Amino acid sequence: MHTRYDVVVVGAGIVGLSAAYHIKQTRPDASLLIIDRNAAVGQGDTAKSNAALRDTFTSTVNRTLARSTIDFYKHVQNELGFNLNLDMVGYLWLLSKRQAQELSTVEVEMQRQGTRFRTYDVDELEAMIPDLTLRPSSQQTKLMGLEDVEKGLFGIDCGTVAPELIARFYESELRKLGAEFQFHTEAKSLQLAARRSLGINGEPLVWQEKFFKQIETNRGPIPASTFVLSAGTRTPLLLDPVGVDCMIKPRKNQLFQVRAPSLQRLLNTKGFNEHDTIPFTILPNGQVYFRPVRRENSVWVGAVAGLGRPFALEEEPIAEEPYYTKQIYPVLSEYFPCFINLRPTNMWAGFYDVNSLDATPIIARIENCIITTGMSGSGIMKADAVGRIAAALLEGRDEATLFGNRKISTAQVGLVNRAVEPEKFVI
C-alpha cells in the first residue's frame, strides 16, 4: 500500500468506478485507490437501483449525459463483448389526457433534438397490451382519482441493464490498469490543512489557503493529492463538516419483485421491442412504474416518492412492505389487474442522492477535491459521462469529451456558475 496516493476515490459504486476508470485512462501512471464501506464493488445504492436507461430528457445536459452513457454501454456489450444484460426494451409512459397535454411541448422538443420515440393511441395500446385496463372504473378508482389512459409515449433508445455487470466491467479494467481497491473501508471525515502552515494550533485558520490533506477512515487516515467523492447520499456527511454544500438530500428508493404465473402474458407482451416483452412502464398516476425482468420471470415495481416522504438517511435501509400494499398496489392493480392478489416475492431499498433544484448530476471541484453527486435516481444511465467529467476536472479542463466525441462544459454542471436548464420530462 502506498503511503500517499495520487488519487483516492471514495465509493466503488458505478459513479466512483467510472470516475476512477476515466482518471486511470487519462493518467495511467497515477497511483489510484478506491475505497468502499462494502465488501465489493457496486454493493451500495448501485445494487438497489431499478437500473433503467432512457435518453428522453428535454434538458441538453441530461440528454447528453444519458445518451453518451447508453452508447458507451452498448459499445462495451457489443464491441468489447462484455455482457451487461443491456436490453433495449424501451420506456412506455401511459399518459392521461392531462399528461398528454402537458407533455405536448416536450414531444415537439424531443423531435427537434432527434430523440427517437413514437406514440400509441388507445386502440393500439388495447390491442398490444391485453393486460392493461385503459379506463379503470371500479368504485375504488373513482375515489382514488385515477385517470384514464389516453395515449402511450414510447422512448425507443431506452432499456434496462445489470448494474453489477457494469461495475464488474469497470473493476476488471481498473485492476488491469493497476488501480487498487480497499473494501470494508468507510470514509469518516475529510481533513483540511493550510497550504503554508505556520505551525499554529487550530490550523487551517480562516485566513489561510487550504487543501484537502487526507481522509480519515475506520482503518486509519489515507493521504492523497486528489480526492474524488463518489459517495452518493453519504457525500454530505463528509462535506457538511468542512462547510461545502453539495446540494443533495437522501430519498429512499424501494423496489418490489413480483413473480407469478399470472404475469406471464405481460412479460411476453409483443410488438414493442425485439425482446418481446413489456417495456419499462410508467402508470398515469401514483408515480408507479414497473420494469420487466424476463431473465428471472419477474416484474420489479416501484413508486417515485415525493411530497410527504422524508429526506432521511438510514444506515441499512430495508424495504417496507406497506409501501407496496398501500402506495403501489392500489394503483397498479387497477391498471394491471394481472397483479391482483399478488404480493412481493422479494424487496430491497436504497437511496437516491436527490438534487431537487434541477435533477441533474453535480460534478464540481473544490480545491483538490472532486465531487460527483446529485444523480437523483439516474446515476446508472449517466455514470460513464459523469466519470469522464470528473476526470476532465482533475486535469483542470473546461470541457470534457464524452463517449461518441460529445463535448460538455465542466463548469456547467458544477456548483459555481452552474447552468442547467430545468428538466421538463420527469418520470
Our finding on whether 106 is near its own copies (CB under 8 A) is: no
Element (H, E) at 419: none
- Give how many residues touch its own copies by CB under 8 A: 54
Our finding on whether 427 is near its own copies (CB under 8 A) is: no
CB atoms within 10 A of CB 222: 22
Compare residues 126 and 367 and give the one whose CB is closer to its own copies. Answer: 367
Our finding on whether 381 is near its own copies (CB under 8 A) is: no
Our finding on whether 109 is near its own copies (CB under 8 A) is: no
Our finding on whether 309 is near its own copies (CB under 8 A) is: yes
Of 18-26, 42-50, 84-92, 245-253, the window that binds its own copies (rule: CB under 8 A) is: 245-253
Our finding on whether 242 is near its own copies (CB under 8 A) is: yes
Our finding on whether 286 is near its own copies (CB under 8 A) is: yes
String of b and e for 139-167 (b: at least 16 CB within 10 Å)?
eebeeeebbbbbbbbbbbbbbbbbbbbbb
Our finding on whether 139 is near its own copies (CB under 8 A) is: no
Q: Judged by CB under 8 A, which of 357, 368, 397, 427 binds its own copies?
A: 357
Q: Judged by CB under 8 A, which of 206, 220, 316, 407 binds its own copies?
A: 206
Our finding on whether 406 is near its own copies (CB under 8 A) is: no
The C-alpha torsion from 60 through 400 and 90 to 277, rounded to 10°, is: -170
Mask 47-86, x = binds its own copies (CB under 8 A)? ----------------------------------------
Distance of alpha carbon 255 from alpha carbon 262, whole angstroms:
20
Q: Judged by CB under 8 A, which of 43, 82, 367, 368 binds its own copies?
A: 367
Is the CB of residue 16 less than 8 Å from the CB of residue 230? yes
Our finding on whether 271 is near its own copies (CB under 8 A) is: no
Query: What φ, ψ does residue 261 adopt, rounded to 5°?
Result: -55, -30
Q: Judged by CB under 8 A, which of 123, 307, 341, 396 binds its own copies?
A: 307
Task: Kindly list the distances between the CA atom of residue 401 and the CA atoms of 63, 69, 208, 316, 385, in Å, as whole numbers in the listed order.
Answer: 15, 12, 35, 37, 9
DSSP summary character for residue 204: S
- Helix locations, 240-312, DSSP H: 264-267
Kindly give, in sequence order, each residue whose CB lies less than 8 Å from that of residue 15, ignoring residues fewer than 6 positions away. 230, 232, 372, 375, 379, 383, 386, 387
Our finding on whether 331 is near its own copies (CB under 8 A) is: yes
Question: Cβ 308 to its own copies, closest distance in Å?
Answer: 5
Q: Judged by CB under 8 A, which of 30, 40, 144, 177 binds its own copies?
A: 144
Is the CB of residue 51 less than 8 Å from the CB of residue 379? no
Q: Judged by CB under 8 A, which of 98, 175, 270, 326 binds its own copies?
A: 326
Site for its own copies in 13-52 (CB under 8 A): none
Q: Judged by CB under 8 A, which of 41, 94, 132, 247 binds its own copies?
A: 247
Question: Cβ 4 to its own copies, closest distance in Å?
Answer: 21
What string of H, E and C letters represents the secondary structure of 310-372? CECCCCCCCCCHHHHHHHHHHHHHHHCHHHCCCCCCEEEEEEEEECCCCCCCEEEEECCEEEE
The grid cell for 228 is 474524488
Cis preceding linkage at 204, omega within 30: yes
Is the CB of residue 372 less than 8 Å from the CB of residue 362? yes
Site for its own copies in 186-205 (CB under 8 A): 192, 196, 198, 200, 202, 204-205
Our finding on whether 97 is near its own copies (CB under 8 A) is: no
Our finding on whether 3 is near its own copies (CB under 8 A) is: no
String of b and e for 255-269 (b: at least 16 CB within 10 Å)?
bbbbbeeebeebbeb
Length of the chain: 427
Of 4-12, 173-181, 268-276, 286-294, the window that binds its own copies (rule: CB under 8 A) is: 286-294
Q: Which residues bind its own copies (CB under 8 A)?
A: 143-146, 192, 196, 198, 200, 202, 204-210, 240-245, 247, 249, 251, 285-288, 303, 305-312, 322, 326-328, 330-331, 354, 356-357, 366-367, 415-418, 422
